[in-house]
Amino acid sequence: MIKLNDFSMSEVQVFDTYCQNAFALEIKYLKSLDADKLLKGFCDIAGVESDATKYGGWETSAIQGHTLGHYLTAVSQAYLSTGDKEFKAIADHITEVLNRCQNKETGYLAAIPESHYEIIENGDTADTWVPWYSMHKILAGLVSAYELTENLQALTVASRLGDWVYSRTSKWNDKMQITVLNVEYGGMNDCLYELYKNTKSPKHLSAAHSFDETALFDYLYKGEDILNGKHANTTIPKIIGALNRYTVTGEEYYLKVAENFWDIVIDSHTYITGGNSEWEHFGEPKILDAERTNCNCETCNTYNMLKLTRELYKITRDKKYADYYENTFINAILSSQNSKTGMTTYFQPMATGFFKVYSSPTDHFWCCTGSGMENFSKLNDSIYYKDENSIYITQFISSKVNWKEKGLTITQNAELPKVKFIINGSANANIVLRVPDWCKAAPTLKINGEEVSTNSENGVISLSKKWADGDTVEYTIPMQIISHSLPDNENAVAFKYGPYLLSGNLGNNNMNTATTGVNVTIPVEDNTINDKITVKDISLKNWLNNVNDNFTREKGTMNFNIQGTDREITFSPHYMQHQNRYGIYFIVKEK
């Protein structure tokens, strides 16, 4: 099957008001940052004069430089989406300074001394952290600047840096390779395969393969879940790299590795938000209720799972990937940004009664701050896909797409459960609409006001005809509240209304925080909060079987009040809960 193609972010405009606000906050934040402060560590290592002072937080640690890589990717994405020349100027300035900081003899470029890589190769991590992780962000940022802003110097710098990576990896024996790959290295294989696509340098292909962890891949190829205890955000990027190798070489082994890994994570390690992990690590398969704490669902994991998911969808066209993408985009990604400040989360607690904690603009620079920059500068990149004759509409977000090859523009007005598409232009084409996994009754479809059949195949509806200027398609997708439980506790129940995860507002008493790990802020428990709901005058089974009837919606809002229980709790879309303690999972029982 031929791989689906992306629409360029320059070809898609988003009109959804929530997404517009999220994007505007990100644009404001990106413009508020001083690129020279993020470049200061590179200048210091290279002996290049700079009057800037470093930012604080992780940018004064052994992981410094990682934020600059994320930032370069984010401003490149923002430029492509907006055409704002200020972002182009920022990307160009960063690239020019990095070029000056790069060792032209060896190609080395980083904000930490090269000796950190020797420390890792020698199996000693006492005086460093995760240097290859930072290198991945830097190299990925340079490749993004080339691909998204057409900065040729960025490719030159990236190519020299790829040569430096090859010069190290080519000297590894098997033992040293294992030693290095035991320390988090981000998606070094992924960014090097992406670099290879642009340079066609055998060195870059060889260097990429040095970061393919075949010992891990072999288990996944056989479908074995060996994730218990593994650091989630170390593991997921490795699989993204494996899938990128498949796109480069066509080796089916790597596609199977990625498909099996995705199935394992989704089936056995994922919460209703689409997020995973507890304190950054995978647990035992299907043990999720027991792992609910204030440190679940690292945002970087979600960012990387969606990168993997969209590429698997483009290769396979399997609707399950689009279903997961929609759910996770709404309930984990949009949920990760404070809609007033634009700051983003590190963890999203799954334990009832906690709240979201956000980074500061310039004092933290967590890994999730960096991936947050990328998340909210590409809100328009996964709504539409295309092949030669078809457009695949996978998310229902008010937006407009310009299908240049067909001379068509499609404007989507989404107010679920109703979605209306307006076609401008004239061409023979196939419009493919997803029937979401949350749709439990037959959807209805009208073309130019006349109802047509909604026969679906493989979970999609295909509309193939010669479209005329002004044609309309009206798609109605029934929505209801559905309950979801966890595999290790059928009484731990969460609720969704269509694609929207609902969480209960549990007030804002004692919103105190603590610090864990490396300056990561987390919420503190309020032990007065009760996570139990008792069903009244009916069996639990009957209450759950008719759960849609046990919530009443407040007129003109997305607030739902629970009925037939001992609690008065107002539920609303979780992605909108930013200022209060919440409950996603409640222990529901009968008297």
The per-residue pLDDT for range 352-404, each reduced to its tens digit, is 999 999 999 999 999 999 999 999 999 999 999 999 999 999 999 999 999 99
Instruction: List the one residue out of 309, 197, 195 whose CA is nearest residue 247.
Output: 197
Q: How far is CA 515 from CA 295, 497, 521, 522, in A?
A: 11, 34, 5, 6
- Number of H helices and E strands in the chain, helices first, is 17, 23
Helix (H) or strand (E) holding 423: strand 418-424
Tokens read off for 48: 């290049």
Binning pLDDT at 50, 70 and 90, where does residue 423 land?
Answer: very high
Q: Is the pLDDT of residue 94 over 90?
A: yes
Write b or e for each residue in 365-401: b if 16 or more Cβ atoms lie within 10 A of its Cβ, otherwise e: bbbbbbbbbbbbbbbbbbbbbbbeebbbbbbbbbbbb
pLDDT tens-digit readout, 221-266: 999 999 999 999 999 999 999 999 999 999 999 999 999 999 999 9
Q: How far is CA 552 from CA 501, 544, 549, 555, 561, in A?
A: 16, 15, 7, 9, 5
SS3 527: coil
Tokens read off for 448: 């130019």
Q: Is the pLDDT of residue 164 over 80?
A: yes
pLDDT at 455: 85
pTM of this prediction exceeds 0.95: yes
Residue with more model confidence, 573 or 454: 573
Q: Read off the pLDDT of each residue in 564-575 and give the average, rounded to a whole number.
A: 96
Tokens read off for 458: 């493989």
pLDDT at 125: 80
Q: Phi/psi zone of residue 323: left (φ > 0), alpha (ψ -120 to 50 degrees), beta?
A: alpha
Give the Cα separation of 358 and 335 in Å (integer).
11
pLDDT at 1: 67
Contact present, 532 and 589 (Cβ < 8 Å): yes
pLDDT tens-digit readout, 478-515: 999 999 999 999 999 999 999 999 999 999 999 999 99
DSSP code of residue 587: E
Taken in order of first residue, the domains within the chain and their CATH numbers are 386-415+417-476 (2.60.40.1180), 481-590 (no CATH)
pLDDT tens-digit readout, 280-321: 999 999 999 999 999 999 999 999 999 999 999 999 999 999
pLDDT tens-digit readout, 320-340: 999 999 999 999 999 999 999
pLDDT at 493: 98
Instruction: List the one residue out of 13, 14, 72 whose CA is nearest residue 42.
Output: 72
Helix (H) or strand (E) holding 139: helix 131-149
Q: Read off the pLDDT of each residue in 190-217 and give the average, rounded to a whole number.
A: 98
A 10 A CB-CB count for 591 gives 10
pLDDT at 2: 87
Bridge partners for 390 per DSSP:
430
pLDDT tens-digit readout, 442-478: 999 999 999 998 888 999 999 999 999 999 999 999 9
pLDDT tens-digit readout, 542-557: 999 999 999 999 999 9
Binning pLDDT at 50, 70 and 90, where does residue 25 land?
Answer: very high
